[in-house]
A and B are shown apart, each in its own frame.
Chain A
């Protein structure tokens, strides 16, 4: 199967530009997550790929074939792209089985039924085949929506905030079920989410989006440890921004010195994850402004000189507010950006 690619996609509603030159590549058999805050244009990008909306500029391609582009718009029903909607959009007048079989109308009856049931089996809902969607729980509805999208064995399946309607424990359960169902197909999957933890957990490939643009793509690990900007770093979790002076490829702060290869001398910004701060007798002194217990870890606010930072330390040896501690910085969790 060929890869789906989006190149320089643009979509505006009047003066508001929802997608502003976004590029993305979806590989068969891999799960990609598109992470961004509410209103950053990620759902619009998803609908552009599915053909539910027209591009204002750029191209959506399947291999060499143009699906959307200047003067070209293949309607959604001909794209072979599955879609799981945020509200699931199950058809209330059809049973669960008929919902799943909806897209299989070209198959003979017996085969259609077998395929629908096999899909339901995969999401462990075969026993609810005759039920109507309204009678199912939220998690079950989500699985039916997934089974329905996968039944046509599409080249790609797009999921728009598929877990947002579910609560905590159920969410983790449905997430794992979704992952295993997606892994069972050779389709490329793209999951849109605003939940960083969810994206890091699920993605083979991660794309960070903000204000209509893709900030960074890469493995979750790369994106987390090697953000390309402060914005990209903040999308994936808490990040301290500490003003630093760089000279000779090293950034000096009151908390310690970290290498800054390739950053020109002068003012710069150090991005440090809260867990980059280690309590270490060999480190530099810092004052604990406040400490808040949070289970396995304690969140402390540290000051050293005129710099301040949020740090996460193991609760077992957490300091008290007012104490002076000595800390080191873990270089692998820090990045220096030119100011």
Chain B
């Protein structure tokens, strides 16, 4: 059809298009600043090439280990949940995504303590077999284990969506062509889901590269810890920017993988008809094993670390004023960040319909680690702090900058559900509103926005969860003494006050759990063509 070329309500208004351009520009500005800072910044010897090499090697190894760890465990869980029936499957289907509520550093605190020389696991093992088992979590493999446990849900969710969305017809075709269910999975479903799994792995690796709190606590020096150290220890923005360049390069590659994987989804949804997926009933030990596997994943990703932190927290009186203050700041930042990000993402979604350039630019921001984003904002931050006199105004400017950093980083994440929501809106709906006497603005208010409302809420929740968990960017950009829950946890943890650190860490988990449950259940029930 020739709809795209018509003067219809679908063609964005000029000011909407301008808004989209502005939003994309906002997302890309810090990245440009990083590049400029790296190229033109004053050379200094804060970090030797050998050191940078070690950071890069650690990051690469960690990324590779997490890719394998989170990739296999997440994809296997998705396959079990989508294609089989076993006890607890309905609950586990959405519960498996819950570890997204726990920041990786919370897991690191819990596991480092559990597997400490004097910790419960190794003490028990020593009593049992007489010698110490050197299960040191403060190592690269240890960090890989922790991050895999934290990030497998990214793979689980994308792989599950791929298995669920389109393979029904193809699977049935494979069955009629003589394949057993298992063969159909291996020969049809898995190859079809491979791009999606790659996309999920890319997301998990992005998070791995962006992580600061967990690896720093586990004493693994990565590029991201290097960025934070270069700034906070050596005070060298140029060095931080140079390290950031490496991370940006990696992010661009990962983004490419993720986008290509997403493209692959196109050939999935061939049939819009809703049908029950042909699932395989597991019985006996197989069923038990499936349930056990999924439970184990959930336990390692959330229940065990959160439980251990709760146990530790019980042993300490929380410093309530600090904790409550940090909680208020975290929630305030989260809600403000969500509102601003969703607004910008909506501009992008409504204004960039038809054109993909702006959204591509914004997604570059999403692949960028928070620490890098913060480094890009250091120059404007410095200008702001010197230009705005007075503590209160300075605080406001600093908070605004933080919100900007969150929005620049998370715009693409918010864009996704909004775009999906707008897909429900056929162009003729807007035209129908016009022929029923509504102006263009009226059609947007009475038809487009109400239909997209659920999607906007989803986008807001996604941003809220990510802001609550964000650490390195906040560490770099926050105004002096402006502690969020994550910063507070990091402060306690670096002083080895783990019981105290458990309080803010658990607060984040609790605050993030509600939106994550809402989101996860939402994804679990939505299938293309499914009756709403």
Contacts and interface: CB of A to CB of B under 8 A. Distances in A.
Interface of A: 13-14, 16, 18, 44, 47, 50-54, 75-79, 81-83, 85-87, 89-93, 102-103, 105-106, 134, 148-149, 152
Nearest to A78: B437
Given A89-B429, A102-B436, 8 more contacts: A50-B431, A76-B431, A77-B434, A77-B438, A91-B432, A91-B433, A134-B532, A149-B435
B176 interface: no
B424 interface: yes
B437 A81 contact: no
Interface in B254-271: none
B426 A87 contact: yes
Given A47-B6, A53-B6, A76 B435 contact: yes
A81 B434 CA distance: 10
A89 B437 CA distance: 15
B452 to A, nearest CB: 9
B5 interface: yes
B424 A105 contact: no
14 contacts: A52-B431, A85-B431, A87-B428, A90-B429, A91-B429, A91-B433, A92-B424, A92-B451, A102-B433, A102-B438, A102-B446, A103-B437, A152-B436, A152-B437
Contacts of B438: 77, 102-103
Interface in B418-477: 424, 426, 428-429, 431-440, 442, 446-447, 450-451, 453
Contacts of A77: 434-439, 442
Contacts of A44: 2
B193 to A, nearest CB: 29
A85 B434 contact: no
B2 A89 contact: no
Contact of B439 (A13, A16, A53, A75): A75
B8 interface: yes
A83 B435 CA distance: 6
B7 interface: yes
B215 to A, nearest CB: 45
Interface string B1-28: 0100111100000000000000000000
A13 B437 CA distance: 27
Given A18-B2, A91-B429, A91-B447, A52 B8 contact: yes
Contacts of B428: 85-87, 89
A52 B451 contact: no
B439 A83 contact: no
A91 B451 contact: yes
Closest 8 CB pairs of A and B: A103-B436, A89-B428, A83-B435, A76-B434, A89-B432, A85-B428, A89-B429, A93-B450
A14 B6 CA distance: 11
B7 A93 contact: no
Interface of B is mostly: helix
A85 B432 contact: yes
A306 B16 CA distance: 67
A13 B2 contact: yes
A188 to B, nearest CB: 15
Contacts of A152: 436-437
Nearest to B5: A13
Contacts of A83: 431-432, 435
Nearest to B447: A91
B3 to A, nearest CB: 10
Nearest to B424: A92
A44 B6 CA distance: 10
Contacts of A90: 429
A208 B521 CA distance: 53
Contacts of B437: 77-78, 103, 105-106, 152
Query: Which of B431, B446, B450 has the most CB atoms of chain A within a 10 A radius of its CB?
Result: B431
B7 A54 contact: yes
A147 to B, nearest CB: 12
Contacts of B532: 134
Contacts of B426: 87, 89
Q: Which of A16, A92, A105 has the most CB of B within 10 A?
A: A92
Interface string B158-182: 0000000000000000000000000
Contacts of B447: 91, 93
Contacts of A78: 437
A149 B436 CA distance: 7
Interface string B349-391: 0000000000000000000000000000000000000000000
Nearest to B450: A93
Interface string B105-129: 0000000000000000000000000
Nearest to A79: B435
Given A14-B5, A92-B451, A52 B434 contact: yes
A82 B451 CA distance: 22
Q: Pick the most buried of A13, A18, A77, A90: most chain B CB atoms within 10 A of its CB.
A: A77
A134 B451 CA distance: 14
A53 B427 CA distance: 13
Contacts of A87: 426, 428
B129 to A, nearest CB: 62
Contacts of A106: 437
A90 B424 CA distance: 11
Contacts of B440: 75
Contacts of A79: 435
